[in-house]
Structure 1
Amino acid sequence: MPDRHLEFWYEYGSTYTYLTVARIASVAEAQKILVDWRPFLLMPILIEQGMQRGPFLPYPNKLRYMWRDVERRALRHNIPYQKPFLYPPNTLSTARIGYLAQSQHWCADFTQEVFRLHWTEGVIIGTDENIRRSLNFVGQDPDRIVSMAQRDDNKTGLRRQTEQAKALGIFGSPTFVVGNELFWGDDRLEDALDFAAGRF
């Protein structure tokens, strides 16, 4: 019997991840799949792969394609879209808060608001405004949470979670893990959900 469980591993600075963040909760709920939100830091993994500037910046044609592709997929899925004016954002502080939120069980709502502000209002991920508005949205005290996220134990926890992602063989975001199976990319979300539901 399938356990109907899916791990959603993601990096806050990933463009395609916005498309998943905007829809995974609703499509997983429709299939009665439990989603475990797992923020991690992708750049250390990319740097080990020789991509010191990430997967798009050194390649202008690929970068142009990515922006148009994200826009097309947003239209296809009826997801609000406004190209951010800054790329890539500095996501470290947000990722630390996301990791803390994961342990306190408000990660999904926080992450959805972080991405919504970035991709629909131009309130860039990692900025004080994005962080504070997102924390207020989920009913958390910004000063308290920002302080907690900077504690050494929380920083260490996020690093360990990033090492776990690497150990799983994760090399990009979004990635979905179902048992021992990896599915990479927003366009594999439906495949991952079907696999979690035992459809193949």
Structure 2
Amino acid sequence: MSKTVEFYFDLGSPATYLAYTQLPGICAQTGSQLIYIPILLGGVFKATGNASPVTVPAKGRYMFQDLDRYARRYGVTLKYNPNFPINTLMLMRAVTGMQLRHPQRFQAFIDCLFYALWLEARSLDDPATVATVLTRHGFDPDEVLALTTDEEVKAVLKANTEQAVERGVFGAPSMFVDNQLFFGQDRLEFVLEALR
């Protein structure tokens, strides 16, 4: 039986974006399955007493320099988003709703949002900007917005976030292989080792 990587993610994290660019290749290389689990990073921070590195100015500056190094190493584009940090509640409800209601379009949905945030540096806490991005990628903004108010969708995102905290998650990206937690896109080599 092939191994799995449980990928707890929030679109608003640039480190999560970098992990997202690498994990499909790692899973293909090892014959493993990638399981996306959307969470609300703000909820994780609140439950664990953690905070974004940008709350410490020197740490925030260093973090983006380090993420740039990794982006170059991975051969991917990462553009600093001046709107960071953004409130991702609406986005992560939409992501959860697409996974729940339209799983066949889930990958294309997160692809377009990650692209808009971390390659185009769009302000995705602005509903009009989100609508423009979604329309351009063939999604109906009204249908997506309806998902964000769906009670089952809200409950699933809340449950995912609570489950993540119960498992020891304190930030994103967080990945589990064989119930072993790996935090941060800079731990992908250990994820690869665990899958092998």
What is the TM-score with the length of structure 1 in the denominator?
0.87
Aligned residues, how many? 193
Match of 1:130 in 2: 130
| Cα distance, 1:152 vs structure 2 | 1.6
Aligned to 1:21: 20
For the Cα contact (< 8 Å) 2:39–2:92, is it kept in 1? Answer: yes
**1:49 CA drift (Å):** 3.0
- Tell me which amino acid in the other structure corresponds to 1:102: Q
State the partner residue of 1:111: 110
The answer (yes or no) to whether the contact 2:54–2:61 under 8 Å persists in 1 is: no
Letter of the 1:67 counterpart: F
Residue of structure 2 equivalent to 1:85: 82
The within-5 A match list for 1:5-154 is 5-51=4-50, 54-103=51-100, 104-105=102-103, 106-128=105-127, 129-130=129-130, 132-134=132-134, 137=137, 139-154=138-153
Distance 2:132 2:97 in 1: 15
Contact 2:48–2:165, Cα closer than 8 Å, also in 1: no
* Structure 2 unpaired stretches of 5+: none
In the alignment, the residues of structure 2 paired with residue 18 and residue 134 of structure 1 have an alpha-carbon distance, to the nearest angstrom, of 18
Question: Percent identity, aligned pairs only?
Answer: 28
CA shift, 1:136, in A, is 5.3
Structure 1 runs of 4+ with >4 Å offset: none
**Unpaired segments of 5 or more residues in structure 1?**
none
Q: What value does the CA root-mean-square deviation take over the aligned residues?
A: 1.9
Distance (Å, rounded) in 2 between the aligned partners of 1:15 and 1:35 = 19
Contact 1:100 1:154 in 2 (8 A): yes
Counterparts of 2:144 and 2:130, CA distance in 1:
14
Which structure carries more helix by proportion? 2
Cα distance change on mapping 1:134 and 1:192 into 2, 3 Å: farther
Which residue identity lines up with residue 9 of structure 1 in the other structure? Answer: Y
